[in-house]
Amino acid sequence: MSITRLVTVSLASLVVGLIVTVPAVHAQGHVLVPADKVQWGPAPPAFAAGAQLSVLEGNPIESGPVTLRLKFPANYDVAAHWHSMPERLTVLSGALNVGMGDKLDRQASQKLEPGGFVSLPAKMHHFAWTTTPTIVQISLQGPFDIFYVNPSDDPQKRSSSR
């Protein structure tokens, strides 16, 4: 699959996430989302089954600021991947193990607990995994994309995973 086709498929899959956009208060250019109003739905097919997504701000398939939350179950892996835009991630609950490199390596990762933060430049190869249920918040400039270092790790290519 060409890079152009992969980007198109990845971006199109994010439309699923737009269904769970939070009913935030948008007034005079600000977004206000009370904690009890965050709504979750299945993450797009670019993520393995089990992850959930909430879009707090913006539209992930358009240019502009985007704030997402991802909820991962215990023992969830996100294989080595990269994005064409910088990514800023904060752990809200649980623990996310993050590492840099071309394949998921549990020994070469660092555990981030609530309040932990990582900022990744565009195109940096990285991976993540959990041992407990975990919620993270991601801020970026859309459109969002994800490219797996090893194309066979892409959940969209494993139709049996959904």
The pair of three-digit structure tokens given for residue 149, joined into one six-digit string: 């270092």
Alpha-carbon dihedral 149, 155, 159, 162, rounded to 10 degrees: 180
Q: Which residues contact 61 (CB under 8 A, 6 or more apart)?
A: 11, 12, 14, 15, 18, 142, 143, 144
Domain 3-21+36-153 CATH superfamily: Jelly Rolls (2.60.120.10)
* pLDDT value at residue 10: 46
The pair of three-digit structure tokens given for residue 62, joined into one six-digit string: 């358009």
* Domain ranges within the chain, ordered by starting residue: 3-21+36-153
Q: What is the mean pLDDT of residues 6-15?
A: 44
Q: Which amino acid is at 52?
A: Q
The pair of three-digit structure tokens given for residue 91, joined into one six-digit string: 């752990």
In this model, does residue 62 exceed pLDDT 60? yes
Q: What is the mean pLDDT of residues 87-114?
A: 98
* pLDDT value at residue 36: 93
Higher pLDDT, 2 or 115: 115
In the chain, the percentage of residues whose pLDDT exceeds 90 is 77
Lowest model confidence (mean pLDDT) among 11-15, 61-65, 78-82, 156-160: 11-15
In this model, does residue 26 exceed pLDDT 60? no
Distance CA(97)–CA(130), nearest Å, equals 6
* pLDDT value at residue 30: 85
Q: What is the mean pLDDT of residues 107-118?
A: 98
* pLDDT value at residue 159: 57
Question: pTM (2 decimals)?
Answer: 0.83
In the chain, the percentage of residues whose pLDDT exceeds 70 is 80
Kindly report the number of other CB atoms within 10 A of residue 65's CB atom.
Answer: 12
Distance CA(143)–CA(145), nearest Å, equals 7
Whole-angstrom Cα Rg for the chain: 15
pLDDT in tens, 28-49: 578 899 999 999 999 999 999 9
Q: Which residues contact 152 (CB under 8 A, 6 or more apart)?
A: none
Q: What is the mean pLDDT of residues 110-126?
A: 99
